Amino acid sequence: MNGIVTLDIGTSSIRASLHDESGEVVFREQRPTLPRYSADGRVELEASVWEGLLPRLLRRVSDEAMQGGIAVGAISITAQRSSVIAVDAQGRALRPAIMWQDLRTAALAATLAKEEELVFRKTGLRISPVFSAIKMLWLRREEPEVFGKTQRMLGIQDYVLFLLSGRFVTDESLASRTNLLDLATRRWDPDLIGLFEVDPSMLCDIVAPGSIVGGLLPEIATATGLLAGTPIVSAGGDQQCAALGLGLFSKARVVANTGTGSYLIGHADAPVIDPRMRLSCNVAALPGAYIVEAALPTSGAIYRWFAELLMARNEGDQKSRRKTEIPADEGPDFASLNAEAKASGPGAGGVILLPHFKGSGSPHWDTEARGNFYNLSLSTSRGDLARSILEGIAFELGKGLDLVQEFCGPVESVAVSGGMSDSELFNHIQADVFRKPTIRLASGEATSRGAWMAGAVAIGLAPDYPGAFALSTRSAPCERFEPDGKNGDRYAIIRKRADALYTALASPDFRQLQTEDR
């Protein structure tokens, strides 16, 4: 039996999954890779974490494949986007990775504001601390010693592709998250490279998503038990792969993917450029296509933060609750928290959350925005606060849905995925806020499925992407959450209140007061 290994490198974990020839996951191993969050907005992770975990995970998967009589035909890789690792000529990391949600470059990005319209027209992205180019410019200006030794600037996926294949390569979907790729040509743009003062030789070679970039290096094969030369596939960025794994092949469907952050993703056949720069456009993992994307930097991370903060198991946990690494078997009791949130009921007892813990994404792209609980009283319960987080995230995704429909036309259904979609309550809330049927496949790992689809097409297990999707989902029932009109009406009113609250907090007068004690 032929199989494919997928590697899904997220913000807080890495998953290695063994898929059989129909795409079903027969084994999965997951390890935490939690970044360090600093009060000044820095978010970093040592590259050695991925380098150390890859052989161990692949060895576990290889052993399972051997026991199950599965021949691994490819390793297909997807990862979080826009992080930056500076490496030397041998591919050794020169400093910790600057993660995608790192905000240290906000002031530098502001100095380029006059160029933002030009950048957006070419790349479909605003100039933001989220994206890679401004991180590269920051390294040049703030860490010249590191920059002087740098031979390549890699994303997380690029780094893993190098570790496994020895090649410095990226695919178009990942490159489209850098602020350096022209969407029309799908190539590095000389004007943008000049604007961000990037040495072109530091950028990777570009291939189409779904490409075989090389074969597994002999030393990695020896360490893992896999065959040397096993095809290594760059499946695409994690959000693009999640959209692929949820069957985003037309404008009739959108995808809501909620993990550490959230993304509302729609399909487009050509670049979509919002003149007001509220909505991003990227190259899709589906060859020849594009995705339009509304983003929220923090969502599931907020729910976890809240659970760790208020539901610690003991006093010792409370003293260390701000540590980034928590063993999987000692994590928060999400089931109890979800039950309390459900008991709170629609409207969360009047509590409203603005989930801008790392700034706001679409439509405001406001790095100065911060998280806020509003309308607390002495009767406010823990369940009210928990539910307000779920509703606040859904409200932000609802704004993204409005934008996607504005540019791409009416949507018939929303497919949901990501860790937060494990919550039945959250899926009901999303359906009510979206006023659309909300669908969750029985196997919620859409990103891994998308990576498998890319690998399956690359090595000939499936004829095309729709065929791969049909093959991988034929035995996977889905849950369908129908919208409740009454709840939808109520949520529409609360969304207006939340928007008014954001407008008040974003006023110049309040922002001035907010910064006076910094």
Domains of the chain from N-terminus onward = 2-237 (3.30.420.40)
Q: Give pLDDT, residue 315.
A: 44
- DSSP letters for 398-428: HHHHHHHHHHH----EEEEESGGGG-HHHHH
| 56-70, 204-218, 470-484: segment of lowest average pLDDT | 470-484
Closest CA to 178 of 292, 290, 282, 276: 282
Residue that the structure tokens 């540019």 belong to: 407
Closest CA to 98 of 166, 62, 150: 150
The DSSP annotation for 150-215 comes to: -SEEE-HHHHHHHHHHS--EEEHHHHTTTT-EETTTTEE-HHHHHHTT--GGGSPEEE-TTEEEEE
Tokens read off for 408: 């791409």
Residue 221 has pLDDT above 90, yes or no: yes
Edge to edge, the sheet with strand 36-37 lists 36-37, 43-45, 97-98
Q: Give Cα separations from 31 to 49, 98, 403 (angstroms).
A: 10, 20, 36
Whether 466 has a pLDDT exceeding 50, the answer reads yes
**pLDDT cut 70: percent of the chain above it:** 95
Give tens-digit pLDDT for 236-269: 999 899 899 999 999 999 999 898 889 999 999 9
Of 302, 384, 377, 393, give the one whose Cα is nearest residue 343.
384
- Give me the mean pLDDT over the 389-393 stretch: 98
Q: How far separated are the first and last CA of the chain, in Å rounded? A: 61
The C-alpha torsion from 459 through 81 and 274 to 266, rounded to 10°, is 50
C-alpha 11/C-alpha 80 separation (Å) is 6
Report d(CA 388, CA 418) in Å as an integer: 19
Is it the case that residue 116 has pLDDT exceeding 70? yes
Identify the band that residue 311 occupies on the pLDDT scale cut at 50, 70 and 90. low
Q: What confidence score (pLDDT) does residue 40 get?
A: 87
Helices 300-310 and 382-408, axial angle in degrees (round to 10) = 180
What's the pLDDT band for 332 if we cut at 50, 70, 90?
confident
Evaluated on CA atoms 368, 373, 374, 378, the torsion sign reads negative
Using 50, 70 and 90 to split pLDDT, how confident is the model at 514? confident
Q: Kindly compute the dihedral angle of the four CA atoms of residues 32, 38, 44, 48, in this order, to the nearest 10 degrees.
A: -60
How confident is the model over 483-503, as pLDDT tens digits?
999 999 999 999 999 999 999
Q: ∠ at Cα 467 (465, 473), nearest 5°? A: 100
pLDDT category of residue 446 using cuts at 50, 70 and 90: confident
- Which pLDDT band holds residue 327 (cuts at 50, 70, 90)? very low
Percentage of residues of the chain with pLDDT beyond 90: 85
Give me the pLDDT at residue 21, please. Answer: 93
Instruction: Please report which confidence band the pLDDT of residue 328 belongs to, taking 50, 70 and 90 as the band edges.
Output: very low
Pairing of strands 2-9, 71-79: parallel
Q: Dmax of the chain from CA atoms?
A: 67
**pLDDT given for residue 477 in this prediction:** 76
* pLDDT, mean over the chain: 92
Lowest mean pLDDT among 321-325, 332-336, 376-380: 321-325
| Pairing relationship of beta strands 253-258 and 13-19 according to DSSP bridges | unpaired
- In this predicted structure, the answer to whether residue 358 has a pLDDT above a threshold of 70 is yes
Least confident piece of the model among 152-161, 199-208, 509-518: 509-518
CA dist list (Å): 325 to 31, 49, 334: 11, 13, 17
Evaluate whether 390 touches 350 at the Cβ level (below 8 Å): no
- Tokens 């161990």 found at: 56
**Model-level pTM?**
0.85
Q: Whole-angstrom Cα distance, residue 435 to residue 483?
A: 5
Is residue 102 a contact partner of residue 41, using CB atoms and an 8 Å limit? yes
Mean pLDDT for 42-49 is 96
Q: Cα 373 to the chain's mean position, in Å?
A: 25
In this model, does residue 180 exceed pLDDT 90? yes
Q: How far apart are CA 371 and CA 502, in angstroms?
A: 10
Question: 390: closest CA among 450, 462, 316, 340?
Answer: 340
pLDDT in tens, 15-32: 999 999 999 999 999 999
Q: Which residues pair with 373 in a beta bridge?
A: 353
- Residue 285 has what pLDDT? 97
Helix/strand/coil for 4: strand
CA–CA dist 420, 261 (Å, integer): 10
Q: Does residue 312 carry a pLDDT above 60?
A: no
Q: Residue 517: its pLDDT value, please?
A: 61
Distances in Å between the Cα of 349 and the Cα atoms of 374, 376, 396, 405 are 11, 9, 19, 31
3-state secondary structure of 129: coil
Looking at residue 404, its pLDDT comes to: 95
